[in-house]
A and B are shown apart, each in its own frame.
Chain A
């Protein structure tokens, strides 16, 4: 039996984030306008403390609260991802809301709650817990998307996100009830055991229907086609730092829970969901890449690009085979998510920097960026190379690991589709880079970049290259975290 203080230690990341969020909220009301600038740093301190608490849990393997809540390396890995993403996004959003909205502090508080939701989701070991965490994540996300109340696009995006999200959640919840009906339990491990014992007898349609419905909900979170339609509008309308967060943090959370539920509760149905996931994967990457070509707004383009990336990551799940590639394919996904986090946040940071100088997000405004700020141009180039999957960058290694799992199972067709998609994706990234490097700027004025943004750019750039050049420790991290 664990005593209360031990339990408090085990859920330290969660309550630290909660306390930090409350603190930021309270200080926002009391500090006054001239000291408002402190809030993001207080939020960062909270995140730092949460990170330390997470790391201290590294070697623990405990189930809490009657099996609702599980602490293992997999959960800790996603706690780290959540904290990293939130921290970098907070840094990137310092100064962003200047002149856009009078309410700045709440943004950080809500973002901390979002991070909390992700850490809960990563530890969720019960369908009830899964649903509650997803809803916390969703509700804060809707709010943050519509955060700029004076901006019609932002509020519209928030509403759209809410409507799509509510529908997806409802379907997912229905799927969960079916699973409960089929097994009589909401605990993921228990469901897995029951289904495994029952395999061979009785009909399989109930769990399969549940799988389809769960995929709708999780697919919505990771923005897999055909549940991706919210992404472009939401990315375009949401405050850019939050769009950045959605593209990495929220997506990572979606994959965390997708892996947790499918590999704990439904491994015996692999033959059934394999085809579904493969189809989703091919549809997602192809659709994302093809539609991205026609975008004129860089946030929309990055939305489709992040949809396509979800498609590549899904290959990893499709290639999960407990006999051959079990751990490898999970670790490939984890590594990919980590590398992609830095790369995509970096790309979004460049977008934030340009947006703050130019005021819009039209791709045509990127003309001649190299003359206005060569560092931004060079950084964007590296991030895009990484997104295409060209070495020596992190996402390249991620793709290598994922493709390796697929080649090992001899799913050549899937790899070939992904590789062709990689070539297609070059086209739209090049569309931006062509303007950045080869076209003359309309306005020669240099673009200044604020110090917090520089920090984010430096970190993301170093990590984008570092996760590839010094890949070994990161792959090891992913491998040791790939326990479910």
Chain B
């Protein structure tokens, strides 16, 4: 038998959580060290998987593990990675390790519980990206929900209880809709395997049921993405969550929704998806509203964290636009290239947004730890006082607005290049979002925080970044610049998977 590398990646965090649970609570440094050390194992293994998938090609599922789980019901424990999920698990491991490291210096209360929950959260996220069985997928989808709920509710800001339950309720509504759709698919195809069900094409000839099941899944995923009008949980949850919680929430959890659309929505429901993109263009309209409206709302925010939260709505709208374009291309001739480009852009945007927004939330956390405020109006002129911080923020901010040479540029370029050829109207309106993004990043963040008059009396005692903050930020900056300069390996991997995916539709 082969070494079950994916199972190891999946369950090492659980083992770590149990080990932390057994460590005496007083020994906080041991808990921190142990958790970080444990999180390095999946990180290393995800890198191994990355190179393995690069070598074998990302067009098919690799490292597949299949064991019957509840055979009375034909439920299997099925794991696998392809070119779309391999980068995502790497992102998950990467951000989790950084978050645990950063939290070691910022979380002082109930350290043990915090690390246990964080490791469980990591398991939940891995599980969603790795599962190839609907029930397994659903189980991990919900497992990730619970620790995040507690992380927000216990370690969050002032309004944490409201934010926590809102997050939980929204996601639960989405997931019960998804559960119903999963069961419907099962009774139509006789399998819980995502790939098999996709290959069979469920609900052939039963359009009404296909549409219902599609919307069941779509609701579950759209709430998680989140796209307008399901996004209202997000600003609250992000604003109240502790810094590392926001990083994971924006960096990984939002991707679960987009990943679901690519892994399940598109392959299982190509016709309904196409129908609601082209004939009744609800989905691209929602995408464009998310992009433009999200960016406009950012311009109106005075709370830095809330601003970045809304920027996620806007940036995830790009992902949805890319997926819409791919779905729209189905019955068009000669659009295969553009569809692949759009879908590559969407997948890539998930990763670059994960890195960039993760970094932005760290940046907010760093300033909030010092200033105990996030009100943009209270800052000004910090560039001279905190040059190091300014530099790091500037790189991240430019990456976020899509400056060429940084990570965000490529993904947005591909989304628009693809969408412009397939659904040009929406792409052109959506392009407005880029303008507004530049506006809120430069005007709101850079200008209000770093430029202008410096209040010596109030901020004279601010100190620049500590060593651990630099250690947290540098890997992110390197990733942004690295992908910006040389996106080829990532792009090749994504491309192999998206081509295979589109081929099967």
Write the residues of chain A forming the contact surface with B, with a CB cutoff of 8 angstroms. Answer: 374, 385, 388, 390-392, 397, 400-401, 403-404, 407-408, 412, 415-416, 419-420, 422-423, 426, 430, 434, 437-438, 471-472, 475-476, 479
Contact = CB atoms under 8 A, between A and B. Distances in A.
B153 A423 contact: no
Interface in B170-187: 172-173, 176-177, 179-180, 183-184, 186-187
B139 interface: yes
Contacts of A423: 169, 172-173, 176
Contacts of B72: 472, 475-476, 479
Given A397-B70, A415-B183, A471-B69, 19 more contacts: A390-B142, A390-B146, A391-B142, A403-B179, A404-B187, A407-B184, A412-B180, A419-B176, A419-B180, A420-B176, A422-B172, A426-B168, A426-B172, A434-B153, A434-B161, A437-B153, A438-B161, A438-B164, A476-B72
Query: At the interface, is chain B mostly helix, strand, loop or mixed?
Result: helix
A390 B172 CA distance: 9
A138 B187 CA distance: 42
A391 B164 CA distance: 19
A438 B165 CA distance: 11
Contact of B70 (A426, A438, A475): A475
Contacts of B451: none
A422 to B, nearest CB: 6
Nearest to A416: B180
B40 interface: no
13 contacts: A385-B146, A391-B143, A407-B180, A407-B183, A407-B184, A407-B186, A420-B176, A426-B169, A438-B161, A471-B70, A472-B68, A472-B71, A475-B73
B154 interface: yes
Interface in B126-176: 135, 138-139, 142-143, 145-146, 150, 153-154, 160-161, 164-165, 168-169, 172-173, 176
A458 to B, nearest CB: 14
Contacts of B142: 390-391
A392 B161 CA distance: 24
B303 interface: no
Contacts of A420: 176
A444 to B, nearest CB: 15
B28 interface: no
B143 A472 contact: no
A438 B149 CA distance: 11
A407 B187 contact: yes
A472 B70 contact: yes
Interface residues of B, number: 34
Nearest 4 A-B pairs (CB), nearest first? A391-B139, A419-B176, A407-B183, A475-B72
Nearest to A468: B139
Nearest to B183: A407
A422 B180 CA distance: 13
A422 B176 contact: yes
B184 A438 contact: no
Given A403-B180, A416-B180, A434 B69 contact: no
Nearest to A407: B183
A177 to B, nearest CB: 41
B113 interface: yes
Interface string B62-76: 000000111111000
Contacts of A438: 153-154, 160-161, 164
Contacts of B164: 438
A404 B73 contact: yes
B479 to A, nearest CB: 33
A438 B160 CA distance: 9
A422 B176 CA distance: 9
A408 B173 CA distance: 22
Nearest to A371: B110
A434 B161 CA distance: 7
B165 A437 contact: no
Nearest to A335: B72
Contacts of A403: 179-180, 183
B205 to A, nearest CB: 15
A132 B143 CA distance: 46
Contacts of B183: 400, 403-404, 407, 415
A390 B176 CA distance: 10
Contacts of A404: 73, 183, 186-187
